[in-house]
Amino acid sequence: AKALGRNTYSFFTKQMNTVIQRRLTIEEQMRGALQRNEFILYYQPQFDVKKNEIIGAEALLRWLNPVLGSVAPDEFIPIAEKTGVIISIGEFVIKESLSLLKRWKNVEQLNRNFSIAVNLSPSQFKDLSLFNFIKTSLSNANIEPQSLELEITEGVLMSGESSITDTLNDITNLGVILSMDDFGTGYSSLSYLRKYPFNVLKIDRGFINGITKNNEDYSLVEATIAMSHGLGLKVVAEGVETKEQLTILKELGCDLAQGYYFSKPIPEQDLIDFSIRFYS
Ligand code: C2E
Ligand code: CA
Ligand code: CA
Ligand code: CA
């Protein structure tokens, strides 16, 4: 029993060491990664399902590091949050997105309304210069605020700090679009919809995945769309993977959709090519 105990102990120690080691390597490699141009944005197109038009794209961060290879945002964003690096990474994401919008305007075949949705993490809201950064970047790039959309999850709102409310009001008063991301996965999404100036609600892909399979998800999506419209919000279905899902979403009056059925997240030039092909 004693031997087993020791083996078990060393087994867990080894596992822990691997986890800690990876975390440390990520932290270490993330320092300077921005300067070394290891981050790049991919874009996933968003479709207006009624008009059958591409109306925008969500910017999704990718990190390719020489030591670690490709690291998923679900793994490195939480670490960037803890170390504070997320602030400069977040500024990079906004700047890059605005410069895509500028280039987009210059492509003749794409001369129509288009917006970019950017994800923001909780600690970006603790940075009091966020509003000014957004405002200045928009005016420097000469982009209308309506072309920029910010996606936040309820994690941003959980602290209930009044400075966050102020920032969100300032941002939306400027004309920037505010979206509630991953709707339905948290605890208090409903009360947040009442309290904060959201324009868009994104139904989490977990529910979309189930709409063709079970009544519960179908009913929840149906009710969420009706509720959103009652509140004057547009609805985006996330993670649409099949034609059957899209058909149901259309029937339920969903406004917008994104997911592998249309396109995976792709590099900027691929997005431009994809969109030109879509419209020709
Ligand atoms: P999210 O904001 O919920 O983004 C949607 C995720 O679902 C993306 O994963 C996207 O690639 C994936 N996805 C899209 N369509 C489908 C589909 O049809 N099926 C499936 N199975 N997945 C689909 P990704 O790119 O790995 O990003 C993961 C998360 O990392 C994002 O979740 C977001 O929370 C965070 N993230 C990504 N980029 C940024 C960023 O620039 N800033 C911040 N703060 N967070 C980011
Ligand atoms: Ca998102
Ligand atoms: Ca989401
Ligand atoms: Ca998510």
pLDDT digits (tens, 9 = 90+) for 163-174: 999 999 999 999
ipTM over 0.95: yes
User: For position 3, what pLDDT does the model report?
Assistant: 54
Over the stretch 92-120, which tens digit does the pLDDT of each residue have? Answer: 999 999 999 999 999 988 877 899 999 99
CA of 110 to the centre of ligand 4 (A): 29
d(CA 86, CA 123): 8
Mean pLDDT of 126-146: 95
What's the pLDDT at 278? 92
C-beta 241 within 6 A of ligand 1: yes
Mean pLDDT, range 231-235, rounded to an integer = 97
**Rounded distance, CA 81 to CA 95, Å?**
19
Q: Whose CA is nearest to atom 32 of ligand 1?
A: 74
| Residue 1 pLDDT level (bands cut at 50, 70, 90) | very low
Specify the residue for token string 């030039």.
269
Is 189 touching ligand 1 by the criterion CB < 6 Å?
no
- pLDDT(2) > 60: no
**144 with 93: CB under 8 angstroms?**
no
Going from the Cα of 10 to the center of ligand 1, the distance in angstroms, rounded, reads 36
Question: Which pLDDT value is given to residue 75?
Answer: 97
Residue 45: name the closest of 263, 201, 267, 280 by CA: 263
Question: What's the pTM value of the predicted model, to 2 decimals?
Answer: 0.95
